[in-house]
Structure 1
């Protein structure tokens, strides 16, 4: 039985522990410095619980010894230190970060490592890159590759038409940082909250705009191979305009800590959410201009006798599926691995990736 250490007992870490417990093939330790969060996780009876300060590398190294894999569901700014610990103890490393600079640092740490280092294993970045690369491979040449992902409340009631469903730090980070894209075959940076568009899917109208991190490492791989590639976050119409008022007109973009405090005090958490995934490719195949897309809507469901939100399920499923594929030999390699190295069919038939399959 493989031993897995999950760091971070929040929504995603807790869900990942339950998923791994349900498989019956993983011995899981769940660690956090927040005693209250550990008490909540104790109700699941899914893991051995350990109280540890993950910023204390010596203490973390002691706990990490003997584990086959380390899964970080911690805020992005803690992941570089965690990756160093994984390298020290010879464990494979996986995270769900959206932060570009953090991923670049982990790539450096992963050089000549004994285990696999696979950052950005969640939904976006993560699964969306797997789906996008699968579309890319279906064409002789690709003109446009568009990626759209949103984690949305099913029943919005406030003017932002949004509820907190995942990390507030990660949410704000993607709203504030430059975004990677490919234009005319060259990698470029574009501004967050720009590139506004609206579209309709299954009778529901959405808006989308640039946000940071969701494209993962796709631009590294596809620069010069596609004409245009972009990633945008999906929201209900009206969200982007209010964000621009808060971030630009009222200056909260210069005070992310205050922005986080306001969001967490004013926007309620919901487990009644829906994940919208839309990937679209246009290109040439056998001399003909063709278009193909990949569409999913994922809702929450019951796992292990409890109901979980769609964002918990999709993010944790991405993390657990890639880890499972590495530890079982389905995904081979050491050092830094990209999401695009994961075959879509292998992911969707995986015992954890199956939550994306329907």
Structure 2
């Protein structure tokens, strides 16, 4: 099998790291506009399967040519490009997955569904940790219940040793982080779908030591198509991001001041886009390459054999320092790599623009995660308040 990975940043590195370890993978083409990043990746991973390429993903014909030589493509570039890249995959006849990050962009990709079915291609947007892996955990739990009541999904990537007022570090693209804090969030309350502001509805959540009591709050995009999939079948559904206490208040202040706005502001020195300024400052000031941990808790409540039941999936995953793969890289890029390989092998037979919660064989997916050392625990208990 041959694969194309677009983007040689953190997530691209992790996707390549995973792909080259599969004995069925013959070749991994890694493409980035910055050839130095590709060369750095090649130096670190040093595997003959890797083929480095300099590529601007905005050059449609060049992208199509690279895709056409591969069985599947994983997009690890910013979400702005994913619709055009999905169209390129259709042109090339290549299966395609991306890490998502923006609900409006994902909605555009779903407009390609009929064409993808006609051409026998599988396209799966929004496939990483959240959305992605957590959706499959929720579905696995829901499928074991006779009646479904609620889904509560909580996810966070955190520095092991928090520093500074934000108690945070750079684990993925800052543009994507700001997007999560800016856009409204989709929730289901009392059976009805709503849009609620991000950085609201703070709750306390507790994990075992050394983490203790943390906070979780609304952020956008974490559950992608789940509300549509379960619309009319569930009373409550929401997604919240986990952070160290105090982070939400700090970010809300920045948002309230307008520093996350994309509207240009005229200053004596010239025009400035506040969001661009904030992004630049966060990139310069937030720690990078810090040891990290990903916390996951997916709680699904319903009825099983006439009794109320709560199923809880949990994971605490630390970075792999020896292989230079952070926890966020593992938990985001490995699911994309696993599913891309499933498409190429024929384990996923659905065609069109697909939802991960309905098209991925969940038991096989979970087995693949376990084989990579990602340990998930599932507990079934009597319902408790979440």
Give me the whole-angstrom Cα distance separating, in 2, the residues matched to 1:323 and 1:35: 24
CA, structure 1 residues 327+62, in 2 after alignment: closer, same or farther (shift >3 Å)?
Answer: closer
Give the Å deviation of 1:331. Answer: 2.0
Give me the whole-angstrom Cα distance separating, in 1, the residues matched to 2:371 and 2:221: 21
Q: Deviations over 1:55-75 (max 9, x none)?
A: 011222222222111110000
Give me the whole-angstrom Cα distance separating, in 1, the residues matched to 2:369 and 2:305: 36
> Which residue in 2 is equivalent to 1:92?
95
Aligned-residue RMSD, C-alpha: 1.5
> Which residue in 2 is equivalent to 1:15?
14
Q: Deviations over 1:19-62 (max 9, x none)?
A: 11111322110001012212211212341010011101122222
CA, structure 1 residues 353+224, in 2 after alignment: closer, same or farther (shift >3 Å)?
Answer: farther
Give the Å deviation of 1:112. Answer: 3.2
Q: Deviations over 1:97-131 (max 9, x none)?
A: 12101111111123232210011110001000000
CA, structure 1 residues 208+267, in 2 after alignment: closer, same or farther (shift >3 Å)?
Answer: same
**If the length of structure 2 is used for normalisation, what is the TM-score?**
0.88
Q: Which runs of 5+ in 1 are unaligned?
A: none
Does residue 222 in structure 1 map to residue 230 in structure 2?
yes
| SS of residue matched to 1:242 | helix
Q: Which runs of 5+ in 2 are unaligned?
A: 262-273, 377-386
> Which residue in 2 is equivalent to 1:301?
320
Give me the whole-angstrom Cα distance separating, in 2, the residues matched to 1:108 and 1:353: 35
Q: Deviations over 1:259-295 (max 9, x none)?
A: 1111101101134000000011222222222212111
> Which residue in 1 is equivalent to 2:283?
264
Q: Deviations over 1:117-157 (max 9, x none)?
A: 01111000100000011111222222221000001001101
Give me the whole-angstrom Cα distance separating, in 1, the residues matched to 2:361 and 2:373: 16
Give me the whole-angstrom Cα distance separating, in 2, the residues matched to 1:73 and 1:28: 14
Aligned residue pairs total: 354
> Which residue in 2 is equivalent to 1:103?
106
Matches within 5 A, 1:1-358: 2-26=1-25, 27-43=27-43, 44-46=45-47, 47-113=50-116, 114-203=120-209, 204-248=212-256, 250-254=257-261, 255-301=274-320, 306-341=323-358, 342-350=360-368, 354-358=372-376
Q: Deviations over 1:171-202 (max 9, x none)?
A: 11111001111111122111100111011111
